[in-house]
Amino acid sequence: MECGALFPCGSGGRLARVPHRIERPSGHELKRRLASGTAKYAVNPIVRGLFRLGLPAPGIAILETIGRKSGEPRRNPVTNGLDDEVFWVVAEHGRSASYVRNIEANPRVRVRVGSRWHRGVARAVPDDDPRERLRYINSRHPITRLSTATVRLLQTDLLTLRIDLKGDDV
């Protein structure tokens, strides 16, 4: 056998092994993974549990979307962005957040503020300034300061969502 494209010289007629380069996540991606994992497995289950017990965490609401693959309800704690007939959410990981992708697939959502559920239709507002939106939410609900500070700290790609509420649900 001759040396060439299939049989590199010195390989004894065998294909040479080319080591695969292991891709390390960027600092941005690592931060998103760490923040998402902490929220998914530590913080969110506690907050959802408090809501189930009738003890809503101050400054927090529950956003219920429909899973884009499963079709099952998915509940995520979000900062309480209630503003009359509109509910504002600033997604800390933008379109990488599962609930944002769920909304893009099915914009009908429910939001629980305190003990009341509200139905609504959600949409992304990419032209909105999410940092300014967080400041606005803080001005309307000062109790949300800890939650919005957490969003600013853990954010990787902020995106504003607007939910037009349709009234009480339950």
pLDDT digits (tens, 9 = 90+) for 32-55: 676 666 666 666 677 677 767 877
Task: Say whether pLDDT at 3 is over 70.
Answer: no
Q: Which residue has the higher pLDDT, 57 or 109?
A: 109
The reply to whether the predicted model has a pTM over 0.75 is no
Cβ–Cβ < 8 Å for 114, 125: no
Crossing angle of helices 145-154 and 130-140, rounded to 10°: 160
What is the rounded average pLDDT for all residues in the chain? Answer: 82
Share of the chain above pLDDT 70, in %: 74
**Hey, what CATH topology would domain 27-168 get?**
Pnp Oxidase; Chain A (2.30.110)
Instruction: Assign 23 a pLDDT band (cuts: 50, 70, 90).
Output: confident
Q: How do the domains of the chain map onto residue ranges? A: 27-168
Q: Give 3-state DSSP helix, strand, coil % of the chain, rounded to 5.
A: 35, 30, 35
d(CA 130, CA 43): 22
**Residue 109's CB: how many other CB atoms inside 10 A?**
24
